[in-house]
Structure formats: structure tokens, C-alpha cells
Amino acid sequence: MTDLSAAHDDAVTDRTRLAGSAYNGDRDLAARQSLYRWQTPRYDLPGLVAEQLGDVRGRVVDIGCGNGKFIQRLRQDRPDLYLLGLDIAPGILADVPGPVAVADATRLPLASGSVDAALALHMLYHVPDISQAVRDLARVVTRGGLVVASTNSDRDKAELDDLWQRAAGDVLGIDRGPARISLSARFSLEKAPAFLGEEFGRVETVELPGTVTVRDPEPIIAHMASYRAWADQQDVPFDATIARARRILVDHITQHGAFEVTCLGGILVCRR
């Protein structure tokens, strides 16, 4: 179990894989983001983050900004802020409104106390040394400044985990196949407060529960296929498992009219 866990952590945090495959463009990230169009209640996550920054003035850095979804919203809602986007993957920064830079979350190219707020949204689980990243977050934010992080629960999208194992089992000719890789497991909603509490005296968790309901298999299939960068870690033929999952979904939707996925994500609001 230890070796499997170490292999999982290495795969989720490997910079070459992240920059060269998983996030060398925004296709896969956008596929995961788009699943929430079918969620009830529908959360405006960029809007919620903007609300948390309501009292912030000055400089805000978005660490691991990805395809710039949050930066674009803040440029619209808060033109008074000076925004900087950082990510380790140059490819995904191509269409993000600048200024942007390639940077490592554990060695931020920022002076101590130089920003008034920092965002670390659905990315700290990709950092090899999470505690060091949290220390650097605390270092660059001014005293009294704000950090907003986000992640998913250990219980998030359990139905997709079950679907994957059913499909993988069918492909392998066994009852249930191996579990699919979990990106957020290292910094889940349950684990995050302890990591953040190492540097921040106040950590508030805001849970965002919901249910995704689809009547067409494609949003689910696109989400599952977005993990292609980790196909070699799945211990099962990836494309065949995706194809089998589509067939299971079609049968389920034909019989029940819809397929439901229980989601649980959240944001963590931190102050020193």
C-alpha cells in the first residue's frame, strides 16, 4: 500500500507530467470544470472568490492560475486590483490575460509581504511539499492579508469512482477493477485545514455540496477522459475502460432517465 501511495503522489506531483501533458493546454482542465454546468445548486465559484476579496485592496496573486478562469472574473469585477497569475505549466498560460509568469508554488518569485491576498485554487494537491507551499503563501501575503484555497472532499464524485471500477473490472474480466487516480486526495477538504493551520491562525471552510445530473453520457465521459495524462497509472487499458464506461452510462440513462453524481468541494479562507 505504501508503494502504491508513493507512486500515486509521484504521479500527481510530477512537474514534467503536469507541465508537459496534464496542463500543456486547457482542454482537460476545461472538461473537468465544465461538468459543474449540470450541478444543482449551481455555484458561481469565481464569484464566491471575488466576494471573499471584497475588502482586499492592492495586489492579488493567483498561484496555479491554470486557464485563468478566476483572473478573468476578477479583472471584470475588480478592475481596481493588481492581478498576477502564476503557474508551472507555460502552455496553459497562453490565453490568460497578463501579467502572468511560470513559477513554482514552493519558491514564489515574490518578496515577503508583497501581496494583499493570494489564491491557491484546486492546485495545492499538485505540489510535492504542501507544507512548504503553505509557508511560502504565508510569507508573501502581508500581515492581515488573505489566502483563499479550494479543493474537493474525499467523498467527492464517489459515483464516478464506482463507474470507473465497474468499467475497469469489465475490461479486465474481474468483478471490480483498480481505483482511478485521485488528484485531490493529498490535499482534500478533510486534510486541508491541518496543512493551512500550520501557518494561519484562522481557517474557515465553506463547503459547496451539490448533485450533477446528466441525461447524456458525454459530460461524464469528457470528465473521465480528462485524466489521460495519468493513463499509465490506472493499471487498466485507459481507452477501453472509457469506452466501457460510456456503454454503462448509456444503459443506466436509458433505464433511469439520468445519471447522478454527488459532489462536495469547498473553499478555505485563511488569515494569519
**φ, ψ dihedrals at 140, nearest 5°:** -80, -20
Quick one: cell of 263?
A: 459532489
What are the tens digits of pLDDT across the range 42-55?
999 999 999 999 99
What are the tens digits of pLDDT across the range 115-141?
999 999 999 999 999 999 999 999 999
- What's residue 111's pLDDT? 98
- What's residue 8's pLDDT? 87
CA dihedral 147, 33, 48, 151 (to 10 degrees): -40
Band of pLDDT at residue 1, cut at 50, 70 and 90: very low
- What's residue 2's pLDDT? 35
Contact 119, 11 (CB under 8 A): no
CA distance 72 to 77: 9
DSSP 3-state assignment of 239?
Answer: helix
Domains and CATH numbers, the chain: 2-271 (3.40.50.150)
CA distance 113 to 137: 10
User: Which of 174, 181, 180, 170 minimizes the C-alpha distance to 240?
Assistant: 170
Q: Averaged over 104-115, what is the pLDDT? A: 97
pLDDT at 58 over 60: yes
User: Which of 32, 18, 22 minimizes the C-alpha distance to 222?
Assistant: 32
Q: Give residues with Cβ within 8 angstroms of 141, minimum separation 6.
A: 113, 115, 116, 117, 118, 147, 272
Residue type, 56: V
What's this model's pTM, rounded to 2 decimal places?
A: 0.94
Band of pLDDT at residue 238, cut at 50, 70 and 90: very high
